[in-house]
Amino acid sequence: QHAKLHLQNGELFIEDLGTTAGIFIDGMGVRGRLGVSPGQTIQVGDRWLALQATTSVQAKEGEVLARRYRLIRPIGRGGRGEVWLARDEELNEEIALKRLPPEMANDAVAISDLKREVQKSRHLSHNNIIRIHDLVQPPGEPAFVTLEFIDGQDLATMRLAQSGQCFNWETLRPLMTQLCDALEYAHQNKIVHRDLKPANMMVDSGGNLKLADFGIAASMADSLSRSSMQGSVSGTTLYMSPQQMRGEIPRASDDLYALGSTFYELLTSRPPFSSGDVTYQVLNVEAKPLAKRLSELGLQNQVPDAVCAMIMACLAKDPAHRPASAAAVEEWISNSDEPALPPIAPLDPLPPITPSTFGNAPSAAPPPPVPTRTDAAPPLLESSQPTVHEKFAAAGWASIEARDNPWYQGFIAVVAILSLLLVIGLKDAPKDKIVSGVIIILIFWFGLSAIGKILFKPKRFTCSQCSGKLRNDQPGPCPYCGASLT
């Protein structure tokens, strides 16, 4: 036995019985006994438990809510409520109806927050965003949200049906282009999703992607977190950014991180961090390159190196190093026509890009083209496909290359030899002199090492574009060729 669930006075608790790896709730390692609530996911060893809520009033097929919405059949159930296919008898059309979990039913603050999110999101009108109609609060009945109904499957379910449980890039690319277009539109309207993941992306029979739950899922997660005293972090741990994990103010860059996590899972079968203390890993551990993850899982999925680089850029811990916007990601993947490379080696990450700022008004215009450098070298062959490094150069980007400084290495070698000679010289010294001698040698070693770092610097930095020598490894424009350095 690794853990034990307790039901006490209507509340559920989980107790750690001394597991080696511990228990993880929503990706966060915990010890001892802790209360859990619907909507949370528990990991004990290799076993996962997803807690689902049951409504206090069970809905039935054919039941009419608010004298208008007739329930047809359930189409989804989870910790954040249940979703029904229903018919709006006033408009004579099918809709999706999301019933709220019981924790929110009598929470005035939660209902108020959700109503505000619905009012913001209902004005979104985009071909790739599921329309939110209204938050309905009928007297004496549980509140619910009405939405556009999409007859299709979510990407999480579709992924499981693919060979190796991951999409190939050519199949996924048109869907991800639509996703980026929807995200850019929402961000231009100053709305952040905050719970981007494959399960919130529907694909209809015509191959059109529809992004669901704008603001709704995150608001409900906030309320459930408050009710379970888990803090104010909203979203799904496996996909959220370090900043969102820390409860910082939502920004478009959080959605871009989740976009990278979504790409990563759909192309490798797993999110960047999917087991163990996910919270710690998101905050402190760099995600493995896609090629390495595919190799570890024994999967053969050829993904263009430019796409791999863009995904890793989205997963940067620092928002300033993520793509500038969803439009920038869309522009990049739309032009990733280079031949796919087999997953054999890690790829370089993209350079830092200034974080996105929200626009003042929605715009249906296509994203601006990536600026090109007029002095970029022409391709060797007209028909050759550019590599990811050539694309970086064309966009005015370059990497900072670090190499060991031979002068510093030589200096340290001399210091090491001198220190060794001094140690040898102590062999005939009296015992009471040896301790003080060792201390003096250590001071000598550390002192000269510090002087060497000042005089020679351990590393030499150069621009990968022009090989110009740089003073440090700080991102910024190259003083020789003007490329944006990362």
Active-site residue numbers? 195
Q: Bridge partners of 403?
A: 460
CA distances from 178 to 185, 211, 216, 330 (A): 11, 9, 21, 8
In whole angstroms, what is the distance from residue 398 CA to residue 378 CA? 17
Neighbours of 72 (CB within 10 A): 16
Give the helix/strand (H/E) hosting 296.
helix 290-297
Partners of residue 65 on adjacent β-strands: 69
Whole-number Å distance between alpha carbons of 281 and 180? 26
Those residues with Cβ within 8 angstroms of residue 154's Cβ, 6 or more apart along the chain or in another chain: 198, 199, 200, 201, 202, 203
The β-bridge relationship of strands 41-44 and 23-25 is antiparallel
202, 153 contact by CB (below 8 A): yes
First to last CA, the chain: 49
Q: Return the number of other C-beta atoms located less than 10 Å from residue 442's C-beta.
A: 11
Residue 154's closest CA among 99, 93, 97, 213? 213
What is the separation of C-alpha 339 from the centre of its chain, rounded to a whole number of angstroms? 26
**DSSP structure string for 231-254:** -S--S-TTT--HHHHTTPPP-HHH
Neighbour tally for 165: CB within 10 Å: 15
SS3 174: helix
Place of tokens 């949370």: 40
On whether the CB atoms of residues 464 and 340 are closer than 8 A, the answer is: no
On the CB side of 95, how many CA atoms lie within 13 Å of its CA?
Answer: 24
Helices (H) and strands (E) in the chain, counts: 14, 22
DSSP β-ladder status, 23-25 and 476-477: unpaired
